[in-house]
Amino acid sequence: MNRYLLHNLSNNHNEVEAFHYVEDTFQSKKQFHIDDISKYISSDSEIFYFIPSSKISSLKIDPTKDDTDETIRARLLSDMDDFIVNDISENEIFIHRNSKLDLAIVINKSYLISLTKKLRSTGSKIFICPEHMLSFLKDEASIFQIADRIIFSLSAGEGFSQNELNLDDYVNLLKQERKNFLPKLYINNSTLVKNFKDSEIKDISLETLHLLFIKEHSILPNLYRSGFHLDYWIKRYQINKLDLALAIAATSLLVIYPISSTFLNNSYADEYKNETISIFKKINPNIKRVVNPRRQIDEILNSYNLEQASNLSISGLDSIKRLDIPEITKLYMDINKSEAQLTLSGLGSNQYQFLINLLPQANLNLITEDVKTSNGKVSGLITIGLSD
Protein backbone atom coordinates (compact mmCIF):
# COMPACT_ATOMS: atom_id res chain seq x y z
CA MET A 1 0.00 0.00 0.00
CA ASN A 2 1.34 3.41 -1.02
CA ARG A 3 0.95 5.96 1.75
CA TYR A 4 1.63 9.67 1.44
CA LEU A 5 1.92 11.92 4.51
CA LEU A 6 1.58 15.56 3.51
CA HIS A 7 2.73 18.70 5.36
CA ASN A 8 2.50 22.32 4.32
CA LEU A 9 5.85 23.95 3.67
CA SER A 10 4.64 27.39 4.70
CA ASN A 11 1.53 29.16 5.89
CA ASN A 12 0.22 29.84 2.38
CA HIS A 13 -0.86 26.17 2.29
CA ASN A 14 -0.23 25.79 -1.42
CA GLU A 15 3.22 24.19 -1.31
CA VAL A 16 3.30 20.76 0.28
CA GLU A 17 5.93 18.16 1.05
CA ALA A 18 4.84 14.57 0.56
CA PHE A 19 6.57 11.71 2.40
CA HIS A 20 6.09 8.46 0.53
CA TYR A 21 5.94 5.14 2.39
CA VAL A 22 5.22 1.65 1.09
CA GLU A 23 3.67 -0.19 4.00
CA ASP A 24 6.08 0.81 6.82
CA THR A 25 9.12 1.62 4.70
CA PHE A 26 10.09 5.17 3.79
CA GLN A 27 10.66 5.60 0.06
CA SER A 28 11.09 9.27 -0.82
CA LYS A 29 9.83 12.79 -0.33
CA LYS A 30 8.76 15.34 -2.91
CA GLN A 31 7.61 18.95 -2.90
CA PHE A 32 4.86 20.21 -5.21
CA HIS A 33 1.95 22.63 -5.47
CA ILE A 34 -1.24 21.25 -3.95
CA ASP A 35 -3.11 21.86 -7.22
CA ASP A 36 -0.79 19.34 -8.93
CA ILE A 37 -1.31 16.59 -6.38
CA SER A 38 -3.04 14.21 -8.81
CA LYS A 39 0.14 14.15 -10.94
CA TYR A 40 2.11 12.58 -8.09
CA ILE A 41 -0.39 10.47 -6.14
CA SER A 42 -2.52 7.74 -7.72
CA SER A 43 -5.86 6.26 -6.72
CA ASP A 44 -4.33 3.09 -5.20
CA SER A 45 -2.86 5.15 -2.35
CA GLU A 46 -3.69 6.50 1.09
CA ILE A 47 -3.26 10.21 1.83
CA PHE A 48 -2.69 11.53 5.35
CA TYR A 49 -2.93 15.30 5.21
CA PHE A 50 -1.82 17.26 8.30
CA ILE A 51 -3.62 20.58 8.67
CA PRO A 52 -1.44 23.17 10.44
CA SER A 53 -2.83 23.38 13.97
CA SER A 54 -3.01 27.16 13.69
CA LYS A 55 -5.85 26.64 11.17
CA ILE A 56 -8.12 24.92 13.69
CA SER A 57 -9.45 25.42 17.21
CA SER A 58 -9.39 22.28 19.33
CA LEU A 59 -11.40 22.09 22.55
CA LYS A 60 -11.55 19.42 25.22
CA ILE A 61 -15.12 18.26 25.89
CA ASP A 62 -16.62 16.38 28.84
CA PRO A 63 -19.68 14.64 27.41
CA THR A 64 -22.04 12.45 29.40
CA LYS A 65 -23.12 9.11 28.01
CA ASP A 66 -26.51 10.64 27.11
CA ASP A 67 -25.07 13.59 25.17
CA THR A 68 -25.47 13.45 21.41
CA ASP A 69 -23.08 15.17 19.02
CA GLU A 70 -25.78 17.75 18.31
CA THR A 71 -26.17 18.48 22.02
CA ILE A 72 -22.44 19.05 22.34
CA ARG A 73 -22.40 21.30 19.25
CA ALA A 74 -25.24 23.40 20.64
CA ARG A 75 -23.37 23.83 23.91
CA LEU A 76 -20.22 24.85 22.06
CA LEU A 77 -22.04 27.32 19.86
CA SER A 78 -23.24 29.24 22.89
CA ASP A 79 -19.58 29.83 23.88
CA MET A 80 -18.17 30.01 20.37
CA ASP A 81 -17.40 33.72 20.47
CA ASP A 82 -14.88 33.06 23.22
CA PHE A 83 -12.73 31.12 20.79
CA ILE A 84 -13.50 32.25 17.26
CA VAL A 85 -13.59 35.67 15.65
CA ASN A 86 -15.22 34.46 12.41
CA ASP A 87 -18.94 34.23 11.81
CA ILE A 88 -20.13 30.97 13.40
CA SER A 89 -21.87 29.90 10.18
CA GLU A 90 -18.52 29.92 8.38
CA ASN A 91 -17.14 27.12 10.57
CA GLU A 92 -17.54 23.37 10.74
CA ILE A 93 -17.58 21.63 14.12
CA PHE A 94 -16.30 18.05 14.39
CA ILE A 95 -17.08 16.04 17.51
CA HIS A 96 -14.69 13.17 18.24
CA ARG A 97 -15.40 10.77 21.09
CA ASN A 98 -13.82 7.47 22.01
CA SER A 99 -12.16 5.82 25.01
CA LYS A 100 -8.90 7.66 24.32
CA LEU A 101 -10.02 11.13 23.30
CA ASP A 102 -12.99 13.51 23.72
CA LEU A 103 -12.43 16.51 21.51
CA ALA A 104 -14.23 19.18 19.49
CA ILE A 105 -12.46 20.65 16.47
CA VAL A 106 -13.58 23.84 14.75
CA ILE A 107 -12.38 24.65 11.25
CA ASN A 108 -13.28 27.14 8.53
CA LYS A 109 -15.71 25.50 6.07
CA SER A 110 -14.39 27.19 2.93
CA TYR A 111 -10.83 26.20 3.68
CA LEU A 112 -11.80 22.57 4.36
CA ILE A 113 -14.01 22.30 1.26
CA SER A 114 -11.25 23.69 -0.96
CA LEU A 115 -8.68 21.33 0.54
CA THR A 116 -10.81 18.18 0.29
CA LYS A 117 -11.71 18.96 -3.33
CA LYS A 118 -8.01 19.01 -4.23
CA LEU A 119 -7.30 15.80 -2.33
CA ARG A 120 -10.25 14.03 -3.98
CA SER A 121 -8.74 14.71 -7.41
CA THR A 122 -6.30 11.85 -6.67
CA GLY A 123 -9.00 9.24 -6.08
CA SER A 124 -7.03 8.08 -3.03
CA LYS A 125 -8.30 7.10 0.40
CA ILE A 126 -8.14 10.31 2.47
CA PHE A 127 -7.43 11.07 6.13
CA ILE A 128 -7.21 14.69 7.33
CA CYS A 129 -5.90 15.38 10.81
CA PRO A 130 -4.60 18.35 12.85
CA GLU A 131 -0.81 18.38 12.69
CA HIS A 132 -0.25 18.34 16.46
CA MET A 133 -1.80 14.85 16.60
CA LEU A 134 1.39 13.57 15.05
CA SER A 135 3.31 13.93 18.33
CA PHE A 136 0.23 13.40 20.55
CA LEU A 137 0.40 9.68 19.84
CA LYS A 138 4.01 9.56 21.05
CA ASP A 139 3.74 11.92 24.02
CA GLU A 140 0.46 13.66 24.70
CA ALA A 141 2.23 16.79 25.97
CA SER A 142 4.97 17.49 23.45
CA ILE A 143 6.49 20.11 21.16
CA PHE A 144 8.09 19.55 17.75
CA GLN A 145 8.79 21.47 14.56
CA ILE A 146 7.84 21.08 10.89
CA ALA A 147 8.95 23.68 8.33
CA ASP A 148 8.58 27.10 9.99
CA ARG A 149 6.00 25.93 12.55
CA ILE A 150 6.58 25.11 16.21
CA ILE A 151 3.80 22.68 17.05
CA PHE A 152 2.35 22.21 20.55
CA SER A 153 0.41 19.11 21.59
CA LEU A 154 -1.47 19.37 24.90
CA SER A 155 -2.41 16.47 27.12
CA ALA A 156 -6.18 16.49 26.38
CA GLY A 157 -5.68 16.44 22.60
CA GLU A 158 -5.80 20.19 22.02
CA GLY A 159 -3.00 21.79 20.08
CA PHE A 160 -1.68 24.82 18.26
CA SER A 161 1.20 25.87 16.07
CA GLN A 162 3.18 29.10 16.04
CA ASN A 163 6.07 30.48 14.03
CA GLU A 164 9.34 31.16 15.80
CA LEU A 165 8.95 34.93 15.52
CA ASN A 166 5.96 34.91 17.91
CA LEU A 167 7.10 31.96 19.99
CA ASP A 168 7.97 33.94 23.15
CA ASP A 169 4.54 35.54 23.35
CA TYR A 170 2.71 32.27 22.82
CA VAL A 171 4.80 30.36 25.37
CA ASN A 172 4.18 33.04 28.02
CA LEU A 173 0.45 32.88 27.40
CA LEU A 174 0.50 29.09 27.47
CA LYS A 175 2.37 29.00 30.80
CA GLN A 176 -0.18 31.36 32.35
CA GLU A 177 -3.12 29.18 31.28
CA ARG A 178 -1.44 25.79 31.80
CA LYS A 179 0.87 26.15 34.77
CA ASN A 180 1.50 22.38 34.98
CA PHE A 181 2.28 21.96 31.31
CA LEU A 182 5.50 19.93 31.11
CA PRO A 183 6.01 18.82 27.51
CA LYS A 184 8.54 16.50 25.92
CA LEU A 185 10.74 18.57 23.60
CA TYR A 186 11.51 17.02 20.22
CA ILE A 187 13.58 20.07 19.23
CA ASN A 188 16.48 21.78 20.94
CA ASN A 189 15.14 25.33 20.77
CA SER A 190 16.63 27.92 23.14
CA THR A 191 13.30 29.65 23.83
CA LEU A 192 11.62 26.35 24.67
CA VAL A 193 14.53 25.05 26.77
CA LYS A 194 14.56 28.30 28.75
CA ASN A 195 10.80 28.21 29.44
CA PHE A 196 10.52 24.46 30.07
CA LYS A 197 13.65 23.78 32.07
CA ASP A 198 12.33 20.54 33.55
CA SER A 199 11.27 19.12 30.21
CA GLU A 200 13.08 16.19 28.66
CA ILE A 201 14.65 16.76 25.27
CA LYS A 202 14.14 13.73 23.03
CA ASP A 203 15.66 13.05 19.66
CA ILE A 204 12.61 11.88 17.70
CA SER A 205 12.67 11.91 13.92
CA LEU A 206 9.70 12.86 11.75
CA GLU A 207 9.85 9.39 10.20
CA THR A 208 9.34 7.83 13.63
CA LEU A 209 6.27 9.99 14.20
CA HIS A 210 4.97 9.12 10.74
CA LEU A 211 5.25 5.37 11.30
CA LEU A 212 3.56 5.58 14.69
CA PHE A 213 0.77 7.64 13.14
CA ILE A 214 0.23 5.10 10.33
CA LYS A 215 -0.09 2.36 12.93
CA GLU A 216 -2.38 4.10 15.44
CA HIS A 217 -4.24 6.87 13.59
CA SER A 218 -7.63 5.09 13.85
CA ILE A 219 -8.21 6.56 17.33
CA LEU A 220 -7.77 10.13 16.05
CA PRO A 221 -10.33 12.48 14.44
CA ASN A 222 -10.61 12.42 10.66
CA LEU A 223 -11.77 15.79 9.28
CA TYR A 224 -12.51 14.32 5.86
CA ARG A 225 -16.17 13.72 5.11
CA SER A 226 -16.58 11.46 2.14
CA GLY A 227 -20.16 11.90 0.91
CA PHE A 228 -21.01 11.01 -2.69
CA HIS A 229 -18.80 12.63 -5.34
CA LEU A 230 -19.11 10.83 -8.69
CA ASP A 231 -15.76 12.03 -10.10
CA TYR A 232 -13.97 10.88 -6.95
CA TRP A 233 -15.52 7.40 -6.91
CA ILE A 234 -14.89 6.93 -10.64
CA LYS A 235 -11.22 7.67 -10.09
CA ARG A 236 -11.07 5.82 -6.76
CA TYR A 237 -12.18 2.54 -8.34
CA GLN A 238 -10.64 3.29 -11.75
CA ILE A 239 -13.95 3.06 -13.58
CA ASN A 240 -13.62 3.59 -17.34
CA LYS A 241 -16.30 4.88 -19.72
CA LEU A 242 -17.46 1.36 -20.64
CA ASP A 243 -17.85 0.38 -16.98
CA LEU A 244 -19.77 3.60 -16.32
CA ALA A 245 -22.06 3.03 -19.30
CA LEU A 246 -22.77 -0.54 -18.17
CA ALA A 247 -23.47 0.64 -14.63
CA ILE A 248 -25.88 3.31 -15.89
CA ALA A 249 -27.59 0.76 -18.16
CA ALA A 250 -27.93 -1.73 -15.31
CA THR A 251 -29.32 0.92 -12.99
CA SER A 252 -31.78 2.02 -15.67
CA LEU A 253 -32.96 -1.57 -16.11
CA LEU A 254 -33.47 -1.92 -12.37
CA VAL A 255 -35.69 1.17 -12.44
CA ILE A 256 -37.50 0.54 -15.74
CA TYR A 257 -38.08 -3.24 -15.48
CA PRO A 258 -40.52 -3.19 -12.52
CA ILE A 259 -42.49 -0.36 -14.14
CA SER A 260 -42.69 -2.04 -17.57
CA SER A 261 -43.39 -5.45 -16.00
CA THR A 262 -46.31 -4.03 -14.03
CA PHE A 263 -47.65 -2.30 -17.14
CA LEU A 264 -47.42 -5.51 -19.23
CA ASN A 265 -49.01 -7.61 -16.50
CA ASN A 266 -51.93 -5.18 -16.26
CA SER A 267 -52.24 -5.18 -20.05
CA TYR A 268 -52.25 -9.00 -20.19
CA ALA A 269 -54.79 -9.14 -17.36
CA ASP A 270 -57.12 -6.75 -19.21
CA GLU A 271 -56.70 -8.73 -22.43
CA TYR A 272 -57.40 -12.01 -20.62
CA LYS A 273 -60.49 -10.51 -18.99
CA ASN A 274 -61.84 -9.20 -22.30
CA GLU A 275 -61.18 -12.50 -24.12
CA THR A 276 -62.86 -14.44 -21.31
CA ILE A 277 -65.99 -12.27 -21.52
CA SER A 278 -65.98 -12.61 -25.32
CA ILE A 279 -65.82 -16.41 -25.11
CA PHE A 280 -68.63 -16.53 -22.57
CA LYS A 281 -70.81 -14.30 -24.74
CA LYS A 282 -70.24 -16.59 -27.71
CA ILE A 283 -71.31 -19.56 -25.59
CA ASN A 284 -74.29 -17.74 -24.10
CA PRO A 285 -75.29 -14.25 -25.31
CA ASN A 286 -77.38 -13.79 -22.16
CA ILE A 287 -74.25 -13.54 -19.99
CA LYS A 288 -73.60 -9.90 -19.07
CA ARG A 289 -70.83 -10.26 -16.50
CA VAL A 290 -68.09 -12.82 -15.75
CA VAL A 291 -67.18 -12.95 -12.05
CA ASN A 292 -66.09 -16.54 -11.45
CA PRO A 293 -65.21 -18.15 -14.81
CA ARG A 294 -64.76 -21.71 -13.48
CA ARG A 295 -68.08 -21.74 -11.59
CA GLN A 296 -70.00 -20.05 -14.39
CA ILE A 297 -68.74 -22.43 -17.10
CA ASP A 298 -69.70 -25.39 -14.87
CA GLU A 299 -73.21 -23.97 -14.49
CA ILE A 300 -73.54 -23.53 -18.26
CA LEU A 301 -72.36 -27.09 -18.97
CA ASN A 302 -74.68 -28.55 -16.34
CA SER A 303 -77.65 -26.75 -17.91
CA TYR A 304 -77.09 -28.34 -21.33
CA ASN A 305 -78.23 -31.72 -22.63
CA LEU A 306 -74.78 -32.67 -23.77
CA GLU A 307 -76.03 -35.73 -25.61
CA GLN A 308 -78.33 -33.59 -27.72
CA ALA A 309 -75.66 -30.98 -28.22
CA SER A 310 -73.33 -33.69 -29.36
CA ASN A 311 -75.94 -35.04 -31.76
CA LEU A 312 -76.53 -31.60 -33.16
CA SER A 313 -72.86 -31.04 -33.73
CA ILE A 314 -71.85 -34.46 -34.91
CA SER A 315 -74.91 -35.95 -36.55
CA GLY A 316 -76.37 -32.80 -38.00
CA LEU A 317 -74.00 -29.91 -38.50
CA ASP A 318 -71.03 -32.02 -39.54
CA SER A 319 -73.15 -33.38 -42.40
CA ILE A 320 -73.88 -29.83 -43.53
CA LYS A 321 -70.24 -28.78 -43.13
CA ARG A 322 -69.07 -31.67 -45.30
CA LEU A 323 -71.19 -30.28 -48.15
CA ASP A 324 -68.74 -27.37 -48.26
CA ILE A 325 -71.37 -24.86 -49.46
CA PRO A 326 -69.64 -21.46 -49.71
CA GLU A 327 -73.01 -19.68 -50.01
CA ILE A 328 -73.67 -20.54 -46.33
CA THR A 329 -71.77 -17.46 -45.13
CA LYS A 330 -72.53 -17.66 -41.40
CA LEU A 331 -73.54 -20.32 -38.89
CA TYR A 332 -74.74 -19.38 -35.40
CA MET A 333 -75.56 -22.03 -32.76
CA ASP A 334 -77.86 -21.61 -29.76
CA ILE A 335 -76.97 -24.63 -27.64
CA ASN A 336 -79.61 -23.81 -25.02
CA LYS A 337 -82.36 -24.29 -27.67
CA SER A 338 -80.50 -26.95 -29.68
CA GLU A 339 -80.86 -24.72 -32.73
CA ALA A 340 -78.63 -23.29 -35.43
CA GLN A 341 -79.17 -20.26 -37.66
CA LEU A 342 -77.72 -20.33 -41.18
CA THR A 343 -77.14 -17.21 -43.27
CA LEU A 344 -77.46 -17.83 -47.02
CA SER A 345 -76.14 -15.55 -49.74
CA GLY A 346 -76.88 -16.37 -53.39
CA LEU A 347 -77.45 -20.11 -52.96
CA GLY A 348 -78.87 -21.74 -56.10
CA SER A 349 -82.54 -22.76 -55.87
CA ASN A 350 -81.73 -26.41 -56.57
CA GLN A 351 -78.95 -26.43 -53.98
CA TYR A 352 -81.28 -24.80 -51.45
CA GLN A 353 -83.95 -27.43 -52.05
CA PHE A 354 -81.30 -30.14 -51.74
CA LEU A 355 -80.24 -28.67 -48.40
CA ILE A 356 -83.82 -28.62 -47.08
CA ASN A 357 -84.36 -32.23 -48.20
CA LEU A 358 -81.12 -33.25 -46.46
CA LEU A 359 -82.24 -32.01 -43.03
CA PRO A 360 -84.37 -34.99 -42.02
CA GLN A 361 -81.58 -37.39 -42.93
CA ALA A 362 -79.32 -35.44 -40.52
CA ASN A 363 -81.96 -35.73 -37.77
CA LEU A 364 -82.72 -32.01 -38.23
CA ASN A 365 -85.83 -30.11 -39.13
CA LEU A 366 -86.53 -26.65 -40.52
CA ILE A 367 -87.89 -24.35 -37.78
CA THR A 368 -88.09 -20.96 -39.52
CA GLU A 369 -87.47 -19.78 -43.04
CA ASP A 370 -86.86 -16.13 -43.95
CA VAL A 371 -85.46 -16.19 -47.47
CA LYS A 372 -85.94 -14.46 -50.81
CA THR A 373 -85.41 -15.89 -54.29
CA SER A 374 -84.07 -13.67 -57.06
CA ASN A 375 -82.87 -14.88 -60.46
CA GLY A 376 -82.74 -18.42 -59.19
CA LYS A 377 -80.64 -17.48 -56.17
CA VAL A 378 -81.81 -17.82 -52.57
CA SER A 379 -80.63 -15.42 -49.81
CA GLY A 380 -81.73 -14.95 -46.20
CA LEU A 381 -81.90 -16.80 -42.87
CA ILE A 382 -83.12 -20.25 -41.92
CA THR A 383 -83.27 -21.77 -38.45
CA ILE A 384 -82.82 -25.50 -38.01
CA GLY A 385 -82.99 -27.73 -34.90
CA LEU A 386 -82.87 -31.28 -33.65
CA SER A 387 -85.80 -33.46 -34.55
CA ASP A 388 -87.82 -34.63 -31.53
- For 254, the enclosing helix (H) or strand (E) is helix 241-283
**In CATH, what number does 2-238 get?**
3.30.420.380
Burial (CB < 10 A; 0-12, 13-18, 19+), residue 234, is middle
Residue 78, Cβ neighbours under 10 Å: how many? 8
Q: At residue 335, what is the residue type?
A: I
Beta pairing, strands 339-348 & 377-386: antiparallel
CB 368 within 8 A of CB 376: no
Each residue of 250-305: pLDDT tens digit? 777 777 777 877 777 777 667 666 666 666 555 556 666 666 666 665 666 566 55
Residue 113 is classified by DSSP as H
Q: So what's the architecture of 305-386 in CATH?
A: 2-Layer Sandwich (3.30)
Residue 328 is classified by DSSP as E
Pick the closest to residue 102 from 181, 170, 156 (CA basis): 156
Average pLDDT, stretch 81-87? 54
Whole-angstrom distance, CA of residue 111 vs CA of residue 149: 19
Residue 265 is classified by DSSP as H
* pLDDT at residue 34 in the model: 94
* pLDDT at residue 135 in the model: 96
> What are the residue boundaries of the structural domains of the chain, listed by start?
2-238, 240-303, 305-386
Between the alpha carbon of residue 273 and those of residues 270, 277, 296, 300, the distances in Å are 5, 6, 14, 18
With a pLDDT cut of 70, the percent of the chain lying above it is: 76
The highest-confidence range among 66-75, 148-157, 308-317, by mean pLDDT, is 148-157
Burial (CB < 10 A; 0-12, 13-18, 19+), residue 388, is exposed
Average pLDDT, stretch 195-201? 94
Using the predicted structure, report yes or no on whether residue 89 has a pLDDT greater than 80. Answer: no
Average pLDDT, stretch 336-344? 83
Whole-angstrom distance, CA of residue 9 vs CA of residue 240: 35
* pLDDT at residue 357 in the model: 78
Contacts of 78 (CB under 8 A, 6+ apart): none
Residue 311 pLDDT level (bands cut at 50, 70, 90): very low
Using the predicted structure, report yes or no on whether residue 46 has a pLDDT greater than 70. Answer: yes
* pLDDT at residue 176 in the model: 93
Residue 239 or 181, more confident = 181
* pLDDT at residue 113 in the model: 92
Q: What pTM does this model have?
A: 0.62
Q: What is the mean pLDDT of the chain?
A: 82
Using the predicted structure, report yes or no on whether residue 85 has a pLDDT greater than 60. Answer: no
Whole-angstrom distance, CA of residue 286 vs CA of residue 280: 9
* pLDDT at residue 245 in the model: 61
First to last CA, the chain: 100
Using the predicted structure, report yes or no on whether residue 249 has a pLDDT greater than 80. Answer: no
Average pLDDT, stretch 161-174? 93
Task: Calculate the dihedral angle through the C-alpha atoms of 164, 166, 167, 168, rounding to the nearest 10 degrees.
Answer: 130
